[in-house]
Chains A and B, each alone.
Chain A
């Protein structure tokens, strides 16, 4: 894969930038997210999280399947405020 290939379409993050984040110390999906904004756009990582996981696994010697998913933050789909269903109690993210 060429390094300038787009991994996260929503936020326009390239493979190059993800590799740089890993060189900067990211070893998790959340670490990459925080440094690059990959998975932080309109789709919240539904498309790119699998790709990011593969890259992190390859670069850090972890099995992609063993890298925990980044925190799921409600709402699962983008919602307009008046239509927003109340969230079930206790749902929500960990650290931002």
Chain B
């Protein structure tokens, strides 16, 4: 088999995570090659929404990582020389019931203590801020620190900046096998030939466990499907990103799901309304464990439509032009797996962000690149080390 020129570090996966790591590694002086079976943003990074929302993060390491990443997002367009369309107009988490209100009030208290600016708004205040919302709800939690970004632009921006910094890309190049020797990682077999490398970063999102299973590793990442609908382009219609408290409240108190239509619970339906910088509104979403099936379904679309219209009835006057779904890499504790795999020297994981791949892309790239170049795990990354799970 032919041999391709290797690199100090090979990154598998050209989604937001892989390209952010590659860019940061090159900035620190490493010789980097990205290998991708399909194309930039071909997986979950190109099939998601663009929320950069801190309010949904639990206080603690999760919120701290997100806050650090948001700080980086602010200067990213300038740094990458590519407009990633980051804006910070604030987000509303719509509260539909008194039970949800109680959960959100308590949560806002702990989040304020962690440094987030959150205000609870009653129904009238919500409608003043966001006249598009005229349906059934009690109020909302609002944070001016929340915002949005264009995931595709973020991915393309990292890739272009990486290329400019000297990173090589092999697109349309599936990795068929990770090759080990007595020292650890020796290289990878790809559709274009063998590629030697001593440090291998696997940033394949939901597909990570499939690549590493032949090594005897059981990576606890599961695909969780999220469906979305796209409306026609509209003039500025929404002033903020809009989510709802249902998912947060159920996580806090599973009993709260009991009173609901069980179709919504089964599909994990929640509200997402986000107007992109192009003018389309993304309407979502679902959270479903259905393996690697990444199609939008009739049932999912129906349920999301009903749910969204109950909170924002004016959606009924707007046309849907497209539906799609993406697979979010779920982990049991909600944190990604970042850093070296203790069992195999040279193998580094960077996957499992579930719905946080976009918001955490900037900080993930920084931390993982620094840990490889400095051979020391940054303290912010410690809680995310893969070694917290029994992998083999």
Interface residues, chain A, with chain B CB atoms under 8 Å away: 11, 24-28, 30-31, 34-35, 37, 40-42, 44, 73-75, 78-82, 84, 86-96
Give the CA-CA distance A10 to B44 in the complex, in Å: 25
Chain B residues positioned under 8 Å from A44 (CB to CB): 321-322
Give the CA-CA distance A58 to B320 in the complex, in Å: 33
Interface centre among A26, A78, A88, A93 (most CB of B within 10 A): A93
Residue B294 interfacial (CB < 8 Å): yes
Residue B316 interfacial (CB < 8 Å): yes
Residue B39 interfacial (CB < 8 Å): yes
Residue B326 interfacial (CB < 8 Å): yes
10 contacts between A and B (CB under 8 A): A27-B171, A27-B172, A79-B319, A79-B320, A80-B320, A91-B295, A93-B296, A93-B324, A95-B42, A96-B326
- Minimal beta-carbon separation of B299 from chain A (angstroms): 8
A40 touches B320 (CB 8 A): no
Chain A residues positioned under 8 Å from B172 (CB to CB): 27
A78 touches B319 (CB 8 A): yes
Closest 10 CB pairs of A and B: A96-B47, A92-B295, A87-B298, A92-B296, A78-B319, A96-B324, A73-B322, A78-B321, A86-B298, A93-B324
Chain B residues positioned under 8 Å from A84 (CB to CB): 301, 305, 320
Chain A residues positioned under 8 Å from B39 (CB to CB): 25-28, 30-31, 34
Residue B133 interfacial (CB < 8 Å): no
A81 touches B298 (CB 8 A): no
Interface centre among A74, A79, A95 (most CB of B within 10 A): A95
A81 touches B320 (CB 8 A): yes
Interface residues, chain B, with chain A CB atoms under 8 Å away: 39-44, 46-48, 152, 156, 160, 169, 171-172, 228, 232-233, 278, 294-299, 301-302, 305, 309, 315-326
- Nearest CB in chain B to that of A91: its residue: B298
Partner of B323, one of A26, A80, A90, A92: A92
- Minimal beta-carbon separation of B226 from chain A (angstroms): 10
Task: Given A31-B39, A79-B319, A92-B325, verify A25-B295 contact (CB < 8 Å).
Answer: no
Give the CA-CA distance A80 to B321 in the complex, in Å: 9
- Minimal beta-carbon separation of B310 from chain A (angstroms): 12
Task: Given A42-B232, A81-B305, A88-B298, verify A95-B320 contact (CB < 8 Å).
Answer: no
Chain B residues positioned under 8 Å from A11 (CB to CB): 278
Interface of chain B: mostly helix, strand, loop or mixed: mixed
Partner of B40, one of A25, A87, A90: A25
Give the CA-CA distance A88 to B298 in the complex, in Å: 6
- Nearest CB in chain B to that of A75: its residue: B320
Give the CA-CA distance A35 to B320 in the complex, in Å: 22
Task: Given A34-B41, A34-B46, A78-B321, verify A90-B295 contact (CB < 8 Å).
Answer: yes
- Minimal beta-carbon separation of A18 from chain B (angstroms): 15
Chain B residues positioned under 8 Å from A73 (CB to CB): 296, 322-324
Give the CA-CA distance A75 to B295 in the complex, in Å: 13
- Minimal beta-carbon separation of B317 from chain A (angstroms): 7
Partner of B320, one of A31, A41, A78, A86: A78
Give the CA-CA distance A74 to B41 in the complex, in Å: 21
Chain B residues positioned under 8 Å from A93 (CB to CB): 294-296, 323-325
Chain B residues positioned under 8 Å from A74 (CB to CB): 296, 301, 323
- Nearest CB in chain B to that of A95: its residue: B47
Chain A residues positioned under 8 Å from B321 (CB to CB): 41-42, 44, 75, 78
Chain B residues positioned under 8 Å from A89 (CB to CB): 297-299
A82 touches B296 (CB 8 A): no
- Nearest CB in chain B to that of A28: its residue: B39
A92 touches B47 (CB 8 A): no
Chain A residues positioned under 8 Å from B43 (CB to CB): 95
- Nearest CB in chain A to that of B38: its residue: A95
